[in-house]
A and B are shown apart, each in its own frame.
Chain A
Amino acid sequence: MTEPGDKQADFDGGEALSPYSKDYWDLVFEQLGRRKLFKLAISILALIYASAIYAPLLGNDRPYVLEAIDYKAYGQAQRTLYPVALSVGRLVRQGPEGYEADKSEGAEQDWEGALQAEVDAAENRIETLRSYLGPADTELLDSFQEKLEASVAAAGAGKSDEATALSKEAKEIAKEIRTELAAVDPENPEAGGHELVPQKSYPLFETITSSEVFFMVLWAFVLLWPLWNGFWNRALLRGDRDRIRKARRPKLVLVVGTSLAASLLWGQLVGGEMVFEVSPLKRGLTTNEVVATRAVFPPFSYGFAETSSGETFRAPTWTAESEIDEEGYYVRGARVPEPDPITGYKPPGAPVEVRYSEPPRNSPWRHPMGTDSVGRDLLVRMLWGGRVSLSVGLVSAVLLVFIGTVIGALAGYFRGWVDILLSRLIEIVLCFPAFFLILMVVAFIDPNTIPPIIAIVIVIACVRWTGVARLARGEFLRLREQEFTLAARATGVPALRTIFRHVLPNAIGPILVAGAFSVASGILTESALSFLGFGVKHPIPSWGSLVTESRSAEHWWIQFFPGFAIFVTVVCYNLVGDAIRDAVDPKMKVQ
């Protein structure tokens, strides 16, 4: 239990370096550090979690950066200014009374609101036009906006005739805008028109929410932990064990604090929102409605719900059977279409649509794990699906460890009738076949009132806490008789404080082990439930629900890859649990 420094201390009078006695966690980490398998498992887990946390950055149908001209949006804005002016005109003519009398039932807006909505729409469109037009040619837009605003102001002041006249003028200008400000047709530049300026945007980052940013920053710290932790310990603390030990809490605060700050900042600056839409941007880029001068896409540029009608159940593209010719026919394997022997009729093929940013038709990287029943890329769906599966495992484990620890602690610490009552409860819950009970509750929960995933987490926690409770009870029964607990009680420390500040830290080892194993079993349970069809709602994927896409043995990739991901994760968690169990064992070897 001594450090090499000790000998040196003896040499020069024993003052330079004080002997360092390792505390419990030093010993635990030392034990863990000796296990190669543990290190391997924890690194794989870190990467699996990284793939889930960074899924939007890895597999997405939106580019990181886009410098493009959206001809479709431009044309739409240009054409729809006229209808806006038209309805403003109608509104100001009607006045508030006429609007109230005329408005359809159930319409919630009042007259002012309706007018404001039209003004906002106009502003929006003018904004779009201005941004693409650049510095030139904004006279028409200016005067349109002027007239429209003046008309609304006049209507608000009750001068209805003046307002109507102004709105008419606005209409005329809108017509002019339609003809005068036409954009250059990218396919036919000779026809003339306005040269548009590409706009830079960050479509992917606009969909990242601030909670996602929190986990992304947090996980960046975790992945780079060996680097910054090593630097901190060696360079800043000069390897002084006592200072390193004291630095544990500041490190934790720093990591969580930075992540939290980043997330708050993101919420303020970007305020991204998770949007669900079927790749309008990519479609626009493919059909040349949007012309990009620069577009940087993620490595796998498919949305998790992006379908492809020509590629249903396509085998992984690196396999031979997956090759498709130009007309959309398979070249090899069982799916090569046979022409009818008599008529010679061959069913029409569905050509593969290679969209913007996607790898070519037969590139091995096109769908490395194949596609599902509607041609969605399985790899991207697995990346996104990991978010559900992994978080269900983790959250349910945290919850059940909490419930189990509290109940076990109460039973073990207070004994007597509390213990009898709680032990009975544990026994009754133990008598249920756990999986069956979870299945029953989840099957009966209405997905519209409680999202199935939250229901699954809660139910797993409510059914599986018994193991942890029994463990905690045993630990507390043992620890409550020890001197330090007696001392705490004798000095008048309240019971709850004794439990949580004195006894619990000494019982935390075995509870942690049970926690690691319950993450694994939580993931298994969620996947089994999803497999039976009681999981996430379509089209959100989870590893278990991906497997159910096809039960046919022909579609082996659908059954193999998601299940394999579950399997690897569970193996790693079990390895980690095993290693922690050995490390926190009080009988562990100390040299």
Chain B
Amino acid sequence: MFGYILRRLLWMIPTMFGITILVFTAIRLAPGDPATVMIGISSGGEMKGDVGYEERIEKFRHENGLDRPIWIQYLGFLGPFNIKPDGHPWFGGSGADPWGGLLVLDLGHEFQRKTMPIIEELGRRLQVTIPLSLISTLLIYLFALPMGIYSAVRQGTKLDAAMTVILFILYSVPTFWAGLMLILAFGASGLHWLPVLGLHSKDAADLATWPYIWDTIVHSILPIATLTYGGLAYLSRQMRVGMIEVIRSDYIRTARAKGLSEKVVVMKHALRNSLIPVITLFASILPILIGGSVIVEQVFDVPGMGRYAFEGLIARDYGIIMATTTFSAFMTLVGILLSDIAYAMVDPRIKYD
């Protein structure tokens, strides 16, 4: 088991390598120049034809190493050498800051705020996104499993039918629309129960600990609901289908025939087997949450990683895009690994060697 995990971890290295190369070339080959975007911002919207426009663009490119061949730039992203003008002497730098890149966990600085290390900002954004995603994942499993089981055990009843229909409908609701409708329903224009924008009130910094926590909780109800409902619907549908299939199998009939109570049959015999496919779904729920967070954070104005990625895209900030993409891909790989490990733990038939 341990060897298996180690081997899987080692396998992740070439995969990550492939992913970063793919993303890196894709965004470099794509049109749109961060230099023009940045110069446009810093000069207050002045346009082409200004005095010194070309020089400023050249300077910006040189400072950020964008005038290098693309493979050198990739090496700069990967590390461990910093290839920018202040970087390692081997790459023509001054040697002030010789190391950099992904291998030393340095993802560079933002183009716009030159002193802001991307990894620091990413960490700050993740402090928002990771709790939201984790709570949402937890809620998905917490509600989906009992709902699926109940629905399967009471198959054919009216409650089962109603739940199936509701989950089916939830499964088809576009995320952004769900968010907007929740805002309409619970925000100031509707019931006025919950705040709808941001993660804190304006004066949250002055609040005491408990009111502050309460403020955060109230603010995150709607974003979490929007993140959760889709996965919840998907997972409990899967759970129901899996459970129904297991309940029909022979060994369950045997268990019932030998007089075990229904509770033991369902909770002990049936549940264990029907959990297996649901656990593997963990790997596919995680990327959905990450992708969904872009929209949810945009709708609810939450300063998380999805929004960071979005801002990076708008500003053509290669550093931010690479950082967020790499991180999401990494999380997806981790999700796949975790679900494989969990698979091995619930299913003793699976042997990894």
Q: Using a CB–CB distance below 8 Å, which chain A residues touch chain B?
A: 427-428, 430-437, 439-441, 443-446, 449, 520, 524, 527-528, 531-532, 544, 547, 551, 553-554, 556, 559-560, 563-564, 566-567, 570-571, 574-575
A-B contact pairs, 14 of them (CB 8 A): A433-B332, A436-B328, A439-B310, A440-B26, A440-B325, A446-B32, A524-B174, A524-B175, A532-B294, A551-B180, A554-B189, A556-B184, A567-B173, A567-B177
Contact A433 B329 (CB under 8 A): yes
- For B171, give its contact among A437, A528, A574 (CB under 8 Å): A574
CA distance A445 to B173 in the complex (A): 28
**B183 and A553 contact, CB distance less than 8 A:** yes
Decide: A560 near B313, CB < 8 A? Known: A435-B291, A449-B31.
no
- For residue B187, CB closer than 8 A to chain A, the reply is yes
Alpha-carbon gap, A527 to B168, bound state (A): 20
Which of chain A's residues have a CB closer than 8 A to the CB of B310?
439, 532
What's the Cα separation between A440 and B290 when bound, in Å? 14
- The B interface is mostly helix, strand or loop, or mixed, namely helix
Closest to B324 in A: A436
Q: Which of A444, A544, A574 is close to B172, meaning CB atoms less than 8 Å apart?
A: A574
Nearest Cβ on chain B to A534's Cβ, whole angstroms? 9
**Is A567 a contact partner of B172 (Cβ separation < 8 A)?**
yes
B253-274: CB near A (< 8 Å → 1, else 0) gives 0000000000000000000000
Complex Cα distance, B294 from A532, in Å, reads 9
Q: Are A431 and B321 in contact (CB-based, < 8 A)?
A: no
- Chain B residue at minimum C-beta to C-beta distance from A559: B180
Of all chain A residues, which has the CB nearest B12? A431
Q: Which of A440, A446, A556, A571 contacts B313 (CB 8 A)?
A: A440
Contact present for A563 and B294 (CB under 8 Å): no
Given contacts A436-B324, A547-B177, 13 further A-B pairs with CB under 8 A are A431-B329, A433-B329, A436-B328, A440-B26, A440-B313, A444-B31, A444-B32, A527-B176, A531-B298, A551-B180, A553-B183, A553-B188, A556-B189
Cβ-defined contact, A432 with B189, below 8 A: no
**With the chains together, A528 CA to B230 CA distance in Å?**
14
Smallest CB separation, A118 vs chain B (Å): 38
Binary contact readout B296-324 vs A (1 if CB under 8 angstroms, 0 otherwise): 00100000000001100110100001001
Given contacts A436-B290, A559-B180, contact A567 B174 (CB under 8 A): yes
Task: With both chains docked as a complex, state the minimum distance between the C-beta of A498 and any C-beta of chain B, in angstroms.
Answer: 32
- CB nearest neighbor in A for B283: A430
Check B27 against A432 for contact (C-beta < 8 Å). no
Contacts of A528 in B (CB 8 A): 174-176, 295
A241 CB to closest chain B CB, in angstroms?
34
CB distance from B132 to the nearest CB of A (A): 15
From A520, which residue of chain B is reached at the shortest CB distance?
A: B172
Among B2-26, those with CB < 8 Å from A are: 15, 18-19, 22-23, 26
Contact (Cβ within 8 A) A436 B291 = yes
A553 touching B295 in the complex, CB below 8 Å, given contacts A432-B19, A436-B309, A440-B313? no
Chain B's nearest CB lies how many Å from the CB of A129? 48
